[in-house]
Amino acid sequence: MSASARHIAAASLRERVYRRNFMLFTMDGILFMVAMGIIGPTTVIPDFVRRLTDSEILIGLSGNLFHAGYALPQLFVARLIVHSARKKRWFVLPNIPTRCILLVFALLLLWLAGDHHSLILPAFFLCYAIAALGDGLVGVPWADMIGSSLDSRWRPRLYGLMSGGTALVMLAVVPLVALVLGEQGPGFPQNYALLFAASGTIFALSILPGVFLRELPGAAALDRVPGFTEFLPQLGRLVRSDPQFRALLVIRTLTGLFLMAAPFYIGYATLRLGLSSEVAVPTLLLMQTLGTTSGAMLYMWLGTRHNVLYLRLAMLASALLPLCALLAATAGPVVLALGFLVSGLATSNLFFGFQNWLVEHAKPADRPACIGLANTTSAVVTLFSPVIGGSIARLAGFEALFVVSLVLALAALGVLLRFIRRPLSLSVAVPAGN
């Protein structure tokens, strides 16, 4: 067989692997995101916690805890996995216990609802934190496998289809959530136990697709795990030598601070705008889901062609949610619902856009460290943002918090416009049909 024929055969085999992995990554992503959507980190979860406490800081923490817990371990994991050429086991094995934890909490909630009502809140935070930290263990290997086992044509399609497919499923799920939380539902806390059980079951199912992924080789493994005395200077060199990566860290920091307002929109709708939880939670969740559907379709098309342009549009749209919340005080709750629609379009795919840019921008050998540092930076900010957001909401009111959020979103947009450019490998237009 000639060298040309061998090259064609190898390319054909690789394309089949891409297609197989695309299907499995999509299944994993949709199952995971539907499970998260049922418990709504910016809708259902804050409303659940508000029924148990009036602490704005704890309510704010509940809306940001999963993202913080997800991202915090990633820098530690990034140091460990460079010793492995294959990252699949780092993805599959931690998923097995941690993606079942919400099922455990659903059972705990039913048991504690009787004579141990005061223990519900600490049990929730413990189980939710375990689920988040467990997902954080698999975040870097998941992203690294997407970088090595899918190419630049398949990744935007994956992110868009994950987001769009999730949104379509959620369109059917949202009326069921409204039914469970409504007057015809089983009542508190059994109604939330039912939602956590449904979410936990889907989380458990999401373990299966990862088992069948076929990993392609990425960067060569190091002979040993580098100590922190070697690893930290490496991170410093990456930050110093790459202005665009530095800019991304600043943007992720500003975005984490901007999102500190996310858990408070539901409280604003119920406490300021006069909506009941039974109306506000499913309505705003539905509007966010409709926006996510539209945003996913946009990302599937635009992310393949110009990911950075999508990031610019999404960041601009993100600023509209706090603006709509401020306008809703005089214009009514419909404007807030419109803000959730636009927010779903923008922020639901913003993380995917950042990750896709970083996977393409970073060298394969540097990719785990870059992903880990970017996500951990965001996590540290997210961990402290509930204290900041809750304090602002308690001392100065929801409106002041939304103004701060708006300013932070615009600042992130400014840094994005000034510094982030398309990776060189994507500077050539993608042919139609690819």
Domain CATH number, residue 96: 1.20.1250.20
- Domain count for the chain, please give it: 1
Domain annotation covers residue 432: no
Residue 430: predicted pLDDT: 38
Give the residue ranges of the chain where pLDDT is below 70.
1-11, 82-83, 218-229, 303-304, 345-348, 424-434
Domain annotation covers residue 266: yes
Domain of residue 251 covers: 3-426
Domain annotation covers residue 135: yes
Q: Which of 323, 311, 316, 322 is CA-nearest to residue 420? A: 311
**CA torsion, ordered 98, 104, 108, 110, to nearest 10 deg:** 140
Residue 416: predicted pLDDT: 94
Residue 405: predicted pLDDT: 93
Whether residue 97 is preceded by a cis peptide bond, meaning omega within 30 degrees of 0, is no
Task: Report the SS3 class of residue 2.
Answer: coil
CB burial class (10 A; 0-12, 13-18, 19+) of residue 230? exposed
Residue 413: predicted pLDDT: 93
Residue 220 to residues 138, 344, 377, Cα–Cα distance (Å): 20, 39, 26
Residue 126: predicted pLDDT: 93
Residue 6: predicted pLDDT: 52
Report pTM. Answer: 0.70
Domain annotation covers residue 431: no
Domain annotation covers residue 434: no
Domain annotation covers residue 368: yes
Q: Cα 200 from chain centroid?
A: 17
Residue 120: predicted pLDDT: 93
Residue 434: predicted pLDDT: 34
